[in-house]
Every structure is written in structure tokens, then in C-alpha cells.
Amino acid sequence: MTLQIELQLGGMSCTACAARIEKVLNKQAGVVAAVNFATETAQISSSNPAITAEALIAIIVGTGFSAELADTSPLPEQNELIPLLIAALLSLPLMASMFSMDHAQLLPRWLQMLLATPVQFVLGWRFYRGAYFALKNGGANMDVLVALGTSMAFALSAIVTLLGLHEQHVYFEASAMIITLVLAGKWLESRAKKKTSGAISELLKLQPKTARVETADGLIDVAIDQLKLGDMVIVRHGEVIPVDGIVIEGQAAVDESMLTGESLPVEKTIGSKVFAATKNSSGMLKIRASSVGSKTQLAEIVRLVASAQGSKAPIQRLADQISGVFVPIVAGIALLTFALSFWYWGSAATGLIHAVAVLVIACPCALGLATPTAISVGIGRAAQQGILFRNATALEHAGKIEMLVVDKTGTLTTGQAKVVEIISLQSDISKEALLQLAASLEQGSEHPLAHAILAANTLPLLPISDFVAVPGQGVMGKLGDGSEIKAGIPSWAGEMPEKSTQPHTLVSVAKNGVLLGQLALADTLRASSVEAVKRLQAMGIEVVMLTGDQPATAAAIAKASGIRQHQALMRPQDKAAFIQQQSKVVAMVGDGINDAPALAAAKVSFAMGAGSDVAIEAADITLLHNDLLAVSDTIALSRATLKKIRQNLFFAFFYNTLGIPLAAIGLLNPVIAGAAMALSSVSVVSNSLLLRRWKSEGGSESKPRS
């Protein structure tokens, strides 16, 4: 059995820390781990029965970090503000003395040393601790740079002060202000990073704390975590539904926008499904709980969003590779800077200050935050729009789609077909009996056409044994007398003597190989399909319809929706083969069991939220909106996220490429370098947060969808 857990981590200072934790975990037999610096989480899968969650936590703690199970015991928030305020209070007098012609005139050097010491060794202890564990485990991180740089400045100043070398400058303000500015940057960064995961918090806020349950003693309020399957929950007008369940009494309009982004209320009557966190806009409902607590759709969405935010996109690999060797390279540049500056200026103090500036300016935090923060915000924003990504790879690939393959039934159309004609070929079987026979067989199918046939039937269903669903063909089974019945596409179940030219879907019904007749069904195009196809084509995406339906029906739907290329009579394996033959980046959207092979073959796969569980399981992206407009929204959001990532990576590379040479030649004071380093991380995260303002085309948070 595979262990799947998510851990919340603490104590990481940069991506080198994340890389070290990931490396240590992946060294364990059977363990595959991905650590995300931006979300401070670790997604871990283990096939080794000897590896437990407690053992993994102990391994992480042994490397100098903290870890807890993310879903049960989140780490308490660290108060970064108090140490920052104390550091600022002690450092500001030193900063003021920096602008004096003679530092000692404003503050005696012994007082400067007295103020700087607690900043360096008490408030800055976290950097020494982090550096120790980094070096102990054979790595280097931002803590190494900060600890090394500030220690060099402090040590030089302390020696000058203690030996009374008045002709030499002291740099207590540099060491203290660097630590203060780094603390300020980490505080601002942590605040900004919390906002990148704000979508999960917003989702969790949707669920009420209690539910009104009907019991033998009357109505009582029950805490959400005390609810049980089968509980009868009463939801009045204006209240939020606390469980997933089935309406057994009442009628109401339910606002599902907070869960799916759908702006129009959905009418719910007896037998309707309702979901936790949706709001009863009118009427009263009695609901039988079918899923509670961590089993609700809301909880599943939260888990999916959290898992996706913690995953890594392929575009992040470059940043990870650079961050892995960045600190040792910077340390080497700093050493070379010291040597060259000492040789050129003939002053060890000057060389030391230039080296300190290099160490401080080169922090790789901005580089490490560039991709994961944008991914986290993008996935969270998508969830608010009813778009659920399985992982960050799906988000990245969605922005590169060149061709979109769509199924017809339930994707372009409503999927709510109706029987419009019944044709009986045998004199001993009536139209009603033919429909009864087909409905009896279709009762075991999940296909939308099966629902239409069942809805049209008015006679009692016959018992069927040995039921088999043949993907892309139809269904078959046996009657009580042993007769074999088939219902499916004409080429499989039986062709009519004269083929229909009408744009109807035809279902042939055969008994023991003899064609009994056909049912003609018509499906209607979704109101949004035409707009969605136009929008996708305007985005440079070729839309292709592949369907197992008849050529006349396929041609009519393709023409009505504006699709230029389509193919009919396509079996599931044919659709998958078509996708595999393309040289473009192909995506597939579908909602049925027969779409699963094609979904698996596509580079990016979309499943309609109302589709089958098999389709959703095979897909990279699940759309809670059941139309193609959600696909164009997904692609647009993915492209916006990729744009932010490229901007972040450019700024991070540009910052380090420009900053290190300036520091090396003495054009950056260490204090200014510290401020720039702190602000660089904040600016990258802030740029990612702009994605929270992203809106779907049309400029509204959510639009009416069919």
C-alpha cells in the first residue's frame, strides 16, 4: 500500500533549503518527494511499508527544519514581527551614526558594538542555525550567505574596536542593518506568500460550523465534525448547506457560485444532489447526508487545490538547477572579490566590505519564488472559477495548447438527448415494446443516450443478466429466456435497410443477431458552444470534433458550432490514435467512459465535472462548469500564469546578474544590498499576486452558463 501524505514545513530560508529536504527524503528507499518553497509543503509518496509519517518527520527534523502533518496539525504561525521590531530598534541608532563623518562622534564604538551584538547573535541566531545544518548536510543556502557576510563585517569591527585601531572604520551598522533588512524581507515575504494560498482559506470559510439535524426529539444543532451519513439536515432560506446529500423534501434555488463560479441559482427538488458550502437562496430543503466532513466535494476540491499548489511545474526545473549551485558559486565570487579588492585598493577592510555586499546581494530567494508563487496563485484563482488542476504541470501545458479535440455528446451538446422517433422493423414487436427492450438494456449504462431512452420508456423494465458495455459501440445482455439483446451504433448492432440522412443519433436494437428496429434521438447544442469555439479559434487553437455518432448528425453539430474539422463514427481507440498522430500540442475534452482513452492520450485532458468518474480520473483538469467556455478560461488563465512566471524569472535573473558585479566593484554598500535583496523577493511575490485580479473574458467574476 502506498503512503500519500502532505507535510507542512518550517524553517526554510530559500530554495536551497527546499532542495536539501527533497534530496534527503528521496534518498529513502521507496520514497518520492517534492518540496515547494513557496507553499512550505512537501508532497510525499512512499511504497516502503517501513517508512511512516513519523519517520519522515523525524528525518526532516534531523536536517534542521520543522514538519507536521498538513491536514491535521498545521504549524502555528511564526511571529516574524516582534524580532523585526527589536532588531530595528537596536539598528536605527547605528544607521544614524552611519551618516556622521566620524562614527565615534555620534556613538562611541563600544556602544555601537553593544547595540550590534544582540542583533548579530540573538536575533540573527536563526541564520547561524540554518547555516550549520546546511553545511552539516553538505549544502549551502541563504543562511550561509547572511551568516558569513554579517559575521565578517561584525568580526572586523569588533577587532578594530577591541584593539583601539581608531584609524580603521567600523561596520557594525552594516552587519546589524543587513540582519534587520533580511528579517524585514522575510516578514513581508511570509505575509505575501500566505496570500498566494488564500484560495484554500477562502474555500474553507464557505462551510458552516454547525448543521440543523432532524431527530426523534426534534431539531438540534450539531457540529460539522459530528455529522454522520444518513443524517436528515434541514436547510432554511439564506442558510449554507453543510453536507453533500440528496434532497428528500422541499424545493429551493441553490447558489453554487462559491463552489463552481456559476452565477445563476440552480433549482433543486426531490432527488436533486446538493453540495456542502452552497447557499439556499430560497425555500427550505430536507437533505439526507451522503457525504460529510472530509468526504464532501468541497473537501476534495481543497485537497486537490492544495496538492496542485504544492506540485512543481516543468518550467521550475531551470530555477531549481541554478539555485542548487548558486550559493557555492557566490561564495567563490565573494572570495575572489575580496582578493582583487585587497590587491587593487591595498585595504583588507575595503575588500571585506565588497565581499560582504556580494554575499548579501546574491540571495537566490527571488529566483526560487518566481515559479511556485505564480503557480500557487494561478491554481487558487482557477479553483475560484470552477477549474481544478491535478498538478502544476497541467497548468503549464494548458497554456501551450495548439489543438483541442472535443467530443460531441455532453461536451458541445447538452447531453440531454430525447427520443424523437421509434422505427420497428418486425411486425410482432410494437414501438412501445421496442423502447421497453432498449430501456431495459440501457439501465446498466451511464451514457447520456441511455438516460434519454430510460426517460422515454413508460413500461416496466425487464430483468437483464450478463450485462456488458462495449466502449464506443453499445451495450448487450441477456433476457430471462436467454435471448441476447444488443443496443448500440448501427454498424455494431445492425444497420437499417435505408440509412437515415437526418441529423439524428440512431440506436439500433437487435435480438439474437436480428435487427428489431431503431431509436432516433436528438441532442441540442449548448448555448455557449458557439461562443466558446469562436473564442478558442481566436486564441489560435484549432478545434476538432471527434464523435462516434453518424456522419449526418456530426456534420450538423459541427456546422452549427462553427467547427471546421470533424470526424464521425470514431471509436474510443480511433480518437486516441488520431491524437497520437498529431505533431501539435493536443488537448482533449470529454465527459464519458468512452472518452477515457483519448483523454489519456492527450498532452492536456479536460473532463466535465458532470461527466463519468472514469473520465474525471483520466483527466488533468476537471471543469465544474459543463461547457467549453471553461476550457477557454482555463487556457487564458494558464497563459497569464506563464507570463507572470517569465516576468518573475526575468526580474530574478536580471537582479542577480546586475547586482553581483556592482557589489563586486564596490558600487553597492552592504546595507543597500541587504535592502535590495529583501525587496527583490517581495517584488516577485507581489507580481505573482496580481494574478488574483485575473478575470475570465468578458470582465466578470462569473457569467451565466448553460
- Active centre residues (catalytic): 407
Distance, CA of 642 to CA of 622 (rounded, Å):
20
- 461-496 burial, b at 16+ Cβ within 10 Å, e below that, comes to ebebeeeebbbbbbbbbbbeeeeebbbbbbebbbee
End-to-end CA distance of the chain: 42
Q: Which residues contact 79 (CB under 8 A, 6 or more apart)?
A: none
Q: Which residues contact 428 (CB under 8 A, 6 or more apart)?
A: none
Distance, CA of 98 to CA of 100 (rounded, Å):
6
Place of cell 542555525: 129
Burial class (CB in 10 A: 0-12, 13-18, 19+), 197: buried
Q: Which residues contact 450 (CB under 8 A, 6 or more apart)?
A: 442, 443, 475
User: Around Cβ 584, how many Cβ atoms within 10 Å?
Assistant: 13
Question: CA-based angle 348:351:352, to the nearest 5?
Answer: 85
Distance, CA of 506 to CA of 519 (rounded, Å):
6
CA distances from 64 to 57, 58, 249 (A): 11, 10, 57
Query: Which of 220, 244, 234, 254 is CA-nearest to residue 293?
Result: 244
Query: Which of 560, 632, 626 is CA-nearest to residue 264?
Result: 626
Cell of 53: 509519517
Distance, CA of 689 to CA of 693 (rounded, Å):
8
Distance, CA of 119 to CA of 95 (rounded, Å):
13
User: Around Cβ 706, how many Cβ atoms within 10 Å?
Assistant: 14
Q: At what angle do helices 142-162 and 109-118 cross, to 10 degrees?
A: 150
Q: How many CA atoms lie within 13 A of 454 on its CB side?
A: 15
Polymer length of the chain: 706
Query: Which of 500, 506, 499 is CA-nearest to residue 523?
Result: 506
User: Around Cβ 387, how many Cβ atoms within 10 Å?
Assistant: 28
Task: Give the bridge partners for 10, in sequence order.
Answer: 66
Place of cell 572579490: 337
**Contact present, 90 and 176 (Cβ < 8 Å):** yes
Q: For residue 666, which amino acid is it?
A: G
**Contact present, 311 and 379 (Cβ < 8 Å):** no
Burial class (CB in 10 A: 0-12, 13-18, 19+), 104: middle
Q: Which long-range contacts (CB under 8 A, 24 or more apart) does 473-477 make?
A: 473/571, 474/507, 474/508, 475/441, 475/442, 475/444, 475/445, 475/450, 476/441, 477/441, 477/444
